[in-house]
A and B are shown apart, each in its own frame.
Chain A
Amino acid sequence: MKYLTRQEELVLLSVFRLEENAYLISIQDHLNHFTNKDWSISSVYIPLSRLEKKGYLKTTIGEVTEKRGGKAIKYYQVTKIGLKALAELEAINETMWSGVKGLAEKAESS
């Protein structure tokens, strides 16, 4: 199978966690919050658009607001194959990470 990139994985997971409220800025906030890094809009958008073209995400067009300069909002939702891909990733991560211990200490001490 083809694996998603790390960015794509994180973005897909964020969309899933944000449920109904997943659009670019909220995803960006979410990622900034959890990864403690500064994600730019493009670095969120590019994985998003690729996921969308691969069919992992579907979109709905939302309302037009003043604070967005009169532009519509685009909401993302995870599709069925997106969910399947996420579940697979979870399983892989769990098996891969199980039994790995004391990484942080080792990184600290060396």
Chain B
Amino acid sequence: MPKKPPRIAASILRWILPPRDRDYLLGDYEESFQRKLEEKSALAASLWYWGQLIHTAPEYLLESLYWRIIMFKNYFMIASRNISRQRLYSAINILGLAVGLACCIWISLYIMNEVTYDTFHSNINSIYRIKRINYEPDGSVGNQNWHFPPIMREQLSAFFPGMELHTRYNTGYGVVSYRDKRFPEFIGMADAPFFQIFTFPLISGNPQTVLTRDDAIVITQNAAIRYFGEEGPIGKILTITRGNTQKDFIVTGIAEDVPQNSTIQFNLLINISNMPFTWEYPPALTTWRSFNTPIFCLLEESADVKNVENKFEPFYEQHFSWYTEKQRSEGSWNRDDNPFAITLQSMKDIHLNPDVSGGSSARSLYILSGIALMILVIACMNFVNLSIGTSSFRSTEVGIRKVIGAQRGQLIQQFWSESIIMVVLSMIVGIGLAASLLPVFNELSGEQFVLKDFYSTNNLFVFISLAVVAGIVSGCYPALVMANLNPVEILKGKLKFSGKRMFSKSLVIFQFSLSIILIISSVILRAQLKYLVNTNVGYEREGLLSISIQTGDDQERFVNLYKNKVVQHSGVLAVSACEAVFGVGFSELSMEKEGKEMNFHHCQVGYDFIRTMGMKILEGRDFSNEIASDEEEAILVNQAFVKELRFESPVGKTLGNPSRGHPYNLRIIGVLEDYHFRSLHTEIYPSMLHVYPSNGLRFMIIRIRTSDTQETLAFLERAWEEVRPGENFIYSFLSDAQGSLYQNESLWSEIVQYSSLLAIIIACMGILGLTAITVNNRVKEIGIRKVLGAKITQVINLIIKDFIILVAAANIIAWPIVFYIMHKVLEKYPYRIDISIHYFLFSGLASSLIAVLTVLWFAVKAATTNPVDSLRYE
């Protein structure tokens, strides 16, 4: 028995060697091996064999790569010929894939923006925000937030040695002016270490000292240009006016504009010691009773987060035990532990955290990527379907290749490389598409994306792999089918490509199901949005205008002055004022009633408010400036308020005194029909209106005639300038402001709408291609049918019938899925539409109609062809 070469090495070698000469080469290796055996020991011969393998393998691989490139040139040539010969199918494939890939680019831009939120802070891993976890009365975890009494910061250093730096951050409001420029602004407020903790690069100013002074102000480049234009801002004085007080600030630093993907946004930043001033709330920094300000801290790199978090328990005992006591005495907390716990939240988790409201949730990113992938998948399916459909044209080529000696693997490679070539072409078109339609996407998403952000190595890698995977997946089925064809059957002409084609059909059903899911969702989301925007909110929105009053010196007098000036104008129907525009801002008060705390909205309004708004009084009367006591004690409440207090006959009842510093007991003079003070995301809340002065009136509310809006607006502006010289005339229509409450809904509704449009277009392009193929394959059948007396309508019917069945099947699959999804989506709205059958019927009908219209052209063309033309060669 002669000795054999090592088996493993031989099989590896077998796998590496070029297939053409594999057997001869194996023979050569064996011959040399046998010779070595004669000369040396068996071990030496085996070692030699292994050595040869390791030594020569790279050479063979390089060589095979060389030939593969030569073969690929051939594949490329064939592919480009095919693409240019079958223009319709190629266009469908490339366009469809390009649209799918463009969607992927947009979505990835969006997702990148979301996941890179705040990552520009170089200390991000050590920055934490102090978080508060509230517990429900039964001890379960309730909502979470991050507002604390500002004074808390002063106690942190004593308690937490591992905490290097910490800062509070909040925003205040004021009118900022420099010479003749005045702008109402939200002003950031922070402690001195702010610029050491966060990475907001300063163009000038020292990060350690820039905010130490009480009257220091740091402005962004953008704000610098707005206030100072070309002048150098450093050392200039900006004046902030809030209420009746003014304060001067010295510009000590200029920061680069805050990146869009930052949680903390500011244009102007002052020391938080000014909070009592910008909030018009003197005890802001000294009270423990008001939870209003986020606190950020920087831990030492070596610090153990768990350790720090554990210390918050004794911290609570020392500083917040009063809160537990208060809750207990009010009867709203009966447990032994505390009603909330303090802990830390990493800066990394702030933006994409659904637990803490205010960030966008990671789930919406999944949904978005899902939608983009759905469109891509629909496009890939077109590719698969069209390749299968056109395979009859290619079968002869495949047969010849096989006869000449192409191996199965080579054919698979050929078809794969063709699909990858297609995908590369679509990629180029897709990038072009994404770039040219980026403004549309920006408008849709409300962000400012630039394609430049997309060109990072990481992204391109992901994108190209996505494209290659799409190419391989969609080339997979055609490649395998074609490679497995029997060459003898092909060349004898025995092969049939008709048959049931279940695979193609199920792909079409799948495509249409996805499209229909998107279509119905978009219809329902739109209906819900429309419902939210148009629902009767308890007052008349059209023609209602609010003008913001920026400085607060003696507002009541000013309101009357302006009112008297404009109320006579023919375009003005009614004039009043209020503290907060409906739906946008509100303030909340609490009141004790029979030992229970009750929260409600309150809002200071001017006289005539009810008439101006068009609200309905159910009982009692409106405020009247002829009754002197109204200014001191009269309130109007809504039905929800009455219900909460369980009053039988509310009018005339007196309440306690819930307002800070108000000397009178409040008396209900009327009940208003429930109105939506806030957005329809929340249920109607108890609320009350009063005319006694509280925080001051901040908005004029004017109802104008809707016929000549422009003329009236111009008049109002002129009047404004006379009464408030130098103050900007900033107005908005309440109907617009209401719309902006539902920005999120309208964004999603538009996203789904656009994607359903794209999905149905791509799916239709697919069936367009399929019809073309069907008609092509059945041209003789149709000819014979016509010769035998078939009518045109019968022939059209023959072709269309199939597709209608497919679309109907897709509808049946899509309906329950979409019903489930939409049911889940709508659940979270207290005010919502019913998901009624007509949305489904409408979409089903629309999708079938679109499908039929797509197919019709080819069907008519096929049906009207003269049978002589199609049968002349038989």
Contact = CB atoms under 8 A, between A and B. Distances in A.
Q: Which of A49, A66, A68 has the most CB of B within 10 A?
A: A68
Contacts of B21: 45, 49, 74
Given A24-B24, A73-B27, A41 B63 contact: no
A41 B56 contact: yes
B55 interface: yes
B59 interface: yes
Interface string B610-642: 000000000000000000000000000000000
Interface residues of B, number: 23
A25 B30 contact: no
Contact of A69 (B18, B20, B27, B59): B27
B59 A46 contact: yes
Interface in A56-74: 61, 66-69, 71-74
B553 interface: no
Given A25-B32, A69-B4, A40 B55 contact: yes
A42 B32 CA distance: 13
A24 B28 contact: yes
A46 B24 CA distance: 13
A73 B26 CA distance: 10
A92 B59 CA distance: 30
Interface in B1-46: 2, 4-5, 18, 20-21, 23-32, 34
B56 A42 contact: yes
B24 A73 contact: yes
A42 B2 CA distance: 25
Interface in A35-90: 40-43, 45-46, 49, 61, 66-69, 71-74
Contacts of A43: 56, 59
B776 interface: no
B60 interface: yes
Contact of B31 (A25, A40, A42, A61): A25
B29 A41 contact: yes
A56 B610 CA distance: 103
Contacts of B24: 24, 61, 71-74
B25 A24 contact: yes
B4 to A, nearest CB: 7
A41 B32 contact: yes
A45 B25 CA distance: 8
B60 A71 contact: no
Nearest to A44: B28
A68 B25 CA distance: 10
Contacts of B28: 23-25, 41, 45, 68
A47 B701 CA distance: 92
Contacts of A49: 18, 20-21, 63
Contacts of A46: 59-60, 63
Interface string B258-297: 0000000000000000000000000000000000000000
A40 B56 contact: yes
A69 B55 contact: no
Interface residues of A, number: 20
B30 A41 contact: no
A42 B63 CA distance: 10
Q: Which of B21, B31, B55 has the most CB of A within 10 A?
A: B31
Given A74-B21, A74-B24, A69 B56 contact: no
A61 B5 CA distance: 23
A41 B27 contact: no
B865 interface: no
A68 B60 contact: no
B30 A71 contact: yes
A69 B30 contact: yes
Nearest to B56: A42
B52 interface: yes
Interface in B55-114: 55-56, 59-60, 63
Contact of A41 (B5, B20, B25): B25
A77 to B, nearest CB: 15
A35 to B, nearest CB: 17
Nearest to A67: B34
Nearest to A53: B67
B413 to A, nearest CB: 19
A80 B31 CA distance: 30
A66 B18 CA distance: 23
A44 B56 CA distance: 11
Q: Which of A28, A40, A41, A74 has the most CB of B within 10 A?
A: A41
Nearest to A49: B21
A61 B27 CA distance: 12
A67 B3 CA distance: 10
B32 to A, nearest CB: 6
Nearest to B2: A66
A109 B18 CA distance: 46
B56 A68 contact: no
Contacts of A72: 23-24, 27
A45 B52 CA distance: 13
B52 A40 contact: yes
A54 B31 CA distance: 27
B7 to A, nearest CB: 12
Nearest to B67: A53
A25 B30 CA distance: 10
A84 B468 CA distance: 47
Contacts of B5: 69
Contacts of B30: 67-69, 71
A46 B2 CA distance: 29
Contacts of A42: 52, 55-56, 59-60
Contacts of A24: 24-25, 28
A23 B25 CA distance: 10
Q: Which of B27, B32, B55 has the most CB of A within 10 A?
A: B27
Given A25-B32, A41-B32, A68 B27 contact: yes
A89 to B, nearest CB: 23
A73 B25 CA distance: 9
B31 A68 contact: yes
Contacts of B56: 40-43
A68 B33 CA distance: 9
Contacts of A25: 28, 31-32
Nearest to A24: B28
A42 B31 CA distance: 14
B59 to A, nearest CB: 4
B1 to A, nearest CB: 11
A46 B63 CA distance: 7
Contacts of B32: 25, 28, 41
A52 to B, nearest CB: 9
Q: Which of A24, A42, A61 has the most CB of B within 10 A?
A: A42
A39 B815 CA distance: 72
Contacts of A61: 24
Contacts of A40: 52, 55-56
B52 A41 contact: yes
B704 to A, nearest CB: 88
Contacts of B34: 67
A73 B31 CA distance: 10
Given A40-B52, A40-B55, A42-B56, A71 B63 contact: no
A11 to B, nearest CB: 14
A66 B33 CA distance: 13
A28 B59 CA distance: 17
Contacts of B60: 42, 46
A35 B27 CA distance: 24
A68 B35 CA distance: 10
24 contacts: A23-B28, A24-B28, A25-B31, A25-B32, A28-B32, A40-B52, A40-B55, A40-B56, A41-B29, A41-B52, A41-B56, A42-B55, A42-B56, A42-B60, A46-B59, A46-B60, A46-B63, A49-B18, A49-B20, A49-B63, A69-B5, A69-B27, A72-B24, A72-B27
Given A25-B32, A43-B59, A72-B24, 10 more contacts: A24-B28, A25-B28, A25-B31, A41-B28, A41-B32, A41-B56, A46-B60, A71-B23, A71-B27, A72-B27
Per CB-CB distance, the 4 closest pairs between chain A and chain B, nearest first, are: A71-B27, A42-B56, A68-B27, A69-B30
